[in-house]
A and B are shown apart, each in its own frame.
Chain A
Amino acid sequence: MRWPRLDPITRRRLQRFRRIRRGYYALVILLAAMVLAVFAPYLAESRAIAVWYRGTLYLPTFQYYPMRTFGQAPPAGWDSADIEADYYRLQREWGTERILYARGHSAAGADPAALAALAAKYPDRDDYVVMPPIPWNPYQSDFWANEILNDIQQALDAGHRDDAEWLALRDGLGELAAAIRSGRIDTLLAAGKGHPKRTLGDLARTGAMVSLAGLGTSPPNAPDLRRRHYLGTDSQGRDVAARLLYGFRISIFFALFLVLTGQVIGTIVGSLQGYLGGRFDLVSQRLIEVLIAVPFLYVVIVIAALFQPTFWLLIAILSLFQWIAITFFMRTEMYREKTREYCLAAKSYGASHFRIVFRHLLPNCLTPLVTFTPFAVVGAIFALTGLDYLGYGLPAPTPSWGELIGQALQASNRDKLWLTLAPFGALTITLVLVVFIGESVREAFDPKPYARYE
């Protein structure tokens, strides 16, 4: 089958679409977002894109490296050969080495022995880690905000001031690091009138040290640029931005696949109903009416109870209902088009029914298909979000907008504004973009502008 060459009317419609700025830019933005979503593993991922370590380039995207490869200290109770390198920590550790080396360098002046000692102490000061813009994958829990003050406190309590300062420096707590270094921390923590000796947690809670605000609390944590949680974390400490991005990826491709299958089936059925008419039309219309009467949500709930829903299973279930809407439009279009004489003409020179329906008539019936598809995409995204929200969508750790909205609406999270704004904002923006596109397509296909009475 050859693609029909663009005829002048279609070309004019495309031009009109381009001229409707709102829709055109919405399309550009959405396509860009989809391309970005395809490359999500390079945008939001806990593995580094590249590591430059002691003269060698490592590409962790393609290969697994344990902590030992980079000489990274494992968490307590683990062996450095057993777990994958923590690249984001590695990046911060080596950054800290650079800061300390620079500080030591200016202190050492021109003393070669001191310089050599310094170089030996900070061997990784020239090594680099290139992290994705969001250094989190969507499944990873991060309890840093809850734990970091404890870690520093422990180091302080044990008298390891250098370690404490190192930790503060490493995690971007500049004010705290400076206070530890200058010793001001002792006065801050000292027991005063009416209160016993304080902890770092107290400093954070009371606002005595403003830069510690929000630390020492369990997730969900507010957006924190030091930790590169641009949109905060959810109730399990997972990065909201990363989950939004992957959620978008799943939603939009889910919607596209769903709409594609739905429209293909619907177009075929509707076309045949319109073209064949008669008994086939009558019977299939009744079957469709039966199908419409089936409450779709209950079917999904029943099936979700029997099987663990997966991406493709959900598409299959929703396709059962998705195809119906377009059949009505294709049916009427076909009813109208088949009476045109070119259809009879095609028959008169020996074209088969199949050929007439799908090669001659269908290209003349595409307008409803093109104009309704964007709105079908909106519906499909919304359907998946709704199912996820209700818990009948994709299974648990899968990043999804509906699940985020579900978290946001829990009573205990009502004050966590980022949890509400992020998924609702993403949903709103996406749907508005798609609606803009659909509206502009509809407008571009509207025959009225071609024939307007003065």
Chain B
Amino acid sequence: MSLLEIDALQVGFATEAGLVRAVDGVSLAVERSQTLGLVGESGCGKSVTASSILRLVPSPPGRYLGGAVRFDGADILSMPREALPAIRGRDIAMVFQDPMTALNPVFTIGHQLREVLALRFGLARGAARERSAGMLKAVGIPDAGARLDQYPHELSGGMKQRVMIAMALLCRPRLLIADEPTTALDVTVQAQILHLVRELQRESETAVLFITHDMGVIAEMCDAVAVMYAGRVVERGSVVDVFERPRHPYTKGLLASLPRPGHARKSPLATIEGTVPSLIAPPAGCRFAARCAHRRELDAARARRCVEVDPMLPPAGDHPVACHFPLDAGAPAGNSA
């Protein structure tokens, strides 16, 4: 049994325009001490999937429409509310996207770390301070003891993100959810933070769910990867498989849009044309069909199938894909027309 299993999760948001199905049947699994990357463009449901794991989707307007999130076999979505604090911060910890606002501005770093320890282990002040200082040192903050008495605004963004990571790791969680932990940081700091998470994960054997829209980060960090598009997982597999043999046109598009060494100077980067479809009334067939370059190469009958029939992700397999005509299925489909 996997540590975390997300099974056909559906989350909707009630808006004035109608129900937005931000997550529409996502299935994922995170193995013990493994890192799973969840990748996709903005608005594809990555963060909602992540907050569903802690049942932190704001409600209203958010609503769980179906599916299950099983952590160690127990369904988080159906457990009584009183049982949640026992999981939050203990078994599962979360690092947030924006370190600038994720720390309370009126309390010192030490105070906030101490509170986590007090909530989690009931640790006394002195011991908590020692533990906090040790953890700050572990996440690479110099002069940790002095930092404890500082306020968030006295720290740089990278420092704050390190503090957030320290806060998450203080609880010794079994699963760490990192929701785009580096998007708000500049590139040099990004690399340090990624390295740090990798290092700490290896030491403590924590499972990590790493959420990002950056394929480069995924390649660096993860063992396995799941690609999301418009509230669905469209492709899943090991990093090597997905990166070297992408089967879904969307994945291929994402990879193609990365700048690479050897990319011809001044030639434009590849882009995926069009925008994500509305999730209030998603198209009947493949949600990517309208933007799919691959489909344009298909004959009319097969192209119509893309628009009319919803491709489902096969529940099993090493490298499942939700596409009627995956890219590695023999010769390019257009040739047979």
Query: Given A349-B93, A349-B120, A349-B167, is A360 in contact with B60 using a C-beta cutoff of 8 Å?
Result: no
- Asked if residues A349 and B56 are in contact (CB atoms below 8 Å), the reply is no
A278, B59: Cα distance in complex, Å: 10
A349, B104: Cα distance in complex, Å: 14
Q: Which of B82-90, B214-222, B228-236, B309-317 contacts A (4 or more CB under 8 A)?
A: B82-90
A261, B96: Cα distance in complex, Å: 38
A347, B93: Cα distance in complex, Å: 10
Shortest C-beta distance, A290 to chain B (Å), equals: 26
Chain B positions 93-143 with a Cβ under 8 Å from a chain A Cβ? 93-94, 96-98, 101-108, 111, 115-116, 119-120
Query: Given A349-B89, A363-B107, is A344 in contact with B96 using a C-beta cutoff of 8 Å?
Result: yes
Provide the residues of chain A in CB contact with B154, threshold 8 Å.
8
Shortest C-beta distance, A75 to chain B (Å), equals: 66
Shortest C-beta distance, A402 to chain B (Å), equals: 41
Using a Cβ–Cβ cut-off of 8 Å, how many residues does chain B contribute to the interface with A?
35
Question: Is A452 in the interface zone, CB < 8 Å from B?
Answer: no
Provide the residues of chain B in CB contact with A8, threshold 8 Å.
151, 154
A341, B151: Cα distance in complex, Å: 16
Query: Given A8-B151, A350-B119, is A341 in contact with B107 using a C-beta cutoff of 8 Å?
Result: no
Question: Is B175 in the interface zone, CB < 8 Å from A?
Answer: no
Shortest C-beta distance, B305 to chain A (Å), equals: 42
- Asked if residues B85 and A342 are in contact (CB atoms below 8 Å), the reply is no
Chain B positions 136-175 with a Cβ under 8 Å from a chain A Cβ? 151, 153-154, 164, 167-168, 171
Chain A positions 361-380 with a Cβ under 8 Å from a chain B Cβ? 363-364
A352, B86: Cα distance in complex, Å: 11
Name A8's closest neighbour in chain B (CB-CB). Answer: B151
A298, B108: Cα distance in complex, Å: 49
Question: Is B197 in the interface zone, CB < 8 Å from A?
Answer: no
Question: Is B54 in the interface zone, CB < 8 Å from A?
Answer: yes
Question: Is A4 in the interface zone, CB < 8 Å from B?
Answer: yes
Query: Given A345-B94, A347-B88, is A7 in contact with B151 using a C-beta cutoff of 8 Å?
Result: yes
A363, B107: Cα distance in complex, Å: 9
Chain A positions 280-294 with a Cβ under 8 Å from a chain B Cβ? none
Shortest C-beta distance, A347 to chain B (Å), equals: 6
Query: Given A7-B151, A341-B97, A344-B56, is A349 in contact with B88 using a C-beta cutoff of 8 Å?
Result: yes
Name A366's closest neighbour in chain B (CB-CB). Answer: B106
- Asked if residues B151 and A278 are in contact (CB atoms below 8 Å), the reply is no
A5, B168: Cα distance in complex, Å: 24
Query: Given A7-B151, A349-B93, A350-B119, is A341 in contact with B98 using a C-beta cutoff of 8 Å?
Result: yes
Provide the residues of chain A in CB contact with B90, threshold 8 Å.
350
Contact with B89, one of A278, A341, A348 (Cβ below 8 angstroms): A348
Name A6's closest neighbour in chain B (CB-CB). Answer: B106
- Asked if residues B96 and A345 are in contact (CB atoms below 8 Å), the reply is yes
B-side interface mostly: mixed
Name A348's closest neighbour in chain B (CB-CB). Answer: B94
Question: Is A351 in the interface zone, CB < 8 Å from B?
Answer: yes
Name B105's closest neighbour in chain A (CB-CB). Answer: A364
- Asked if residues A4 and B107 are in contact (CB atoms below 8 Å), the reply is yes
Contact with B104, one of A5, A278, A346, A347 (Cβ below 8 angstroms): A346
Question: Is A340 in the interface zone, CB < 8 Å from B?
Answer: yes
Provide the residues of chain B in CB contact with A342, threshold 8 Å.
101-105
- Interface hub of A347, A360, A364 (most chain B Cβ within 10 A): A347
Shortest C-beta distance, B297 to chain A (Å), equals: 44
Name B92's closest neighbour in chain A (CB-CB). Answer: A348
Query: Given A340-B101, A342-B104, is A348 in contact with B151 using a C-beta cutoff of 8 Å?
Result: no
Contact with A5, one of B97, B108, B120, B164 (Cβ below 8 angstroms): B108
A346, B105: Cα distance in complex, Å: 13
Shortest C-beta distance, B176 to chain A (Å), equals: 11
- Asked if residues A4 and B111 are in contact (CB atoms below 8 Å), the reply is yes
A268, B321: Cα distance in complex, Å: 53
A8, B106: Cα distance in complex, Å: 9
Name B149's closest neighbour in chain A (CB-CB). Answer: A5
- Asked if residues B104 and A348 are in contact (CB atoms below 8 Å), the reply is no
Provide the residues of chain A in CB contact with B60, threshold 8 Å.
278
Contact with A350, one of B86, B101, B102 (Cβ below 8 angstroms): B86
Shortest C-beta distance, A351 to chain B (Å), equals: 6
- Asked if residues B171 and A349 are in contact (CB atoms below 8 Å), the reply is yes
Name B88's closest neighbour in chain A (CB-CB). Answer: A350
Provide the residues of chain A in CB contact with B96, threshold 8 Å.
341, 344-345, 348
- Asked if residues A341 and B88 are in contact (CB atoms below 8 Å), the reply is no
Shortest C-beta distance, B142 to chain A (Å), equals: 21
Provide the residues of chain B in CB contact with A349, threshold 8 Å.
88-89, 93-94, 116, 119-120, 167-168, 171
A5, B85: Cα distance in complex, Å: 27
- Asked if residues A364 and B88 are in contact (CB atoms below 8 Å), the reply is no
A364, B104: Cα distance in complex, Å: 8
Shortest C-beta distance, B171 to chain A (Å), equals: 7
A345, B107: Cα distance in complex, Å: 14
A98, B97: Cα distance in complex, Å: 88
- Interface hub of A8, A345, A347, A349 (most chain B Cβ within 10 A): A349
Provide the residues of chain B in CB contact with A341, threshold 8 Å.
96-98, 101-102
A172, B217: Cα distance in complex, Å: 97
- Asked if residues B88 and A7 are in contact (CB atoms below 8 Å), the reply is no
Shortest C-beta distance, A298 to chain B (Å), equals: 40
Shortest C-beta distance, B111 to chain A (Å), equals: 7
A99, B154: Cα distance in complex, Å: 74
Provide the residues of chain B in CB contact with A347, threshold 8 Å.
56, 88
Shortest C-beta distance, A2 to chain B (Å), equals: 9
Q: A295-320: contact bitstring with B at CB < 8 Å (1 yes, 0 no)?
A: 00000000000000000000000000
A4, B106: Cα distance in complex, Å: 8
Chain A positions 329-363 with a Cβ under 8 Å from a chain B Cβ? 340-342, 344-352, 360, 363
Provide the residues of chain B in CB contact with A5, threshold 8 Å.
108, 111
Provide the residues of chain A in CB contact with B108, threshold 8 Å.
5, 7
Shortest C-beta distance, A362 to chain B (Å), equals: 9
- Asked if residues B116 and A360 are in contact (CB atoms below 8 Å), the reply is no
18 residue pairs A–B, Cβ–Cβ below 8 Å: A4-B106, A5-B111, A7-B151, A341-B102, A342-B101, A342-B102, A344-B96, A346-B104, A348-B54, A348-B89, A349-B88, A349-B120, A349-B167, A349-B168, A350-B87, A350-B119, A363-B104, A364-B106
Name the 4 nearest CB pairs between A and B, nearest first. A349-B89, A350-B85, A341-B102, A350-B89
Given contacts A341-B98, A348-B96, A349-B94, 15 further A-B pairs with CB under 8 A are A4-B111, A341-B101, A342-B102, A344-B56, A345-B102, A347-B56, A348-B88, A348-B89, A348-B93, A349-B93, A349-B171, A350-B86, A350-B88, A352-B85, A364-B105
Residues of B within 8 A of A (CB): 54, 56, 60, 84-90, 93-94, 96-98, 101-108, 111, 115-116, 119-120, 151, 153-154, 164, 167-168, 171
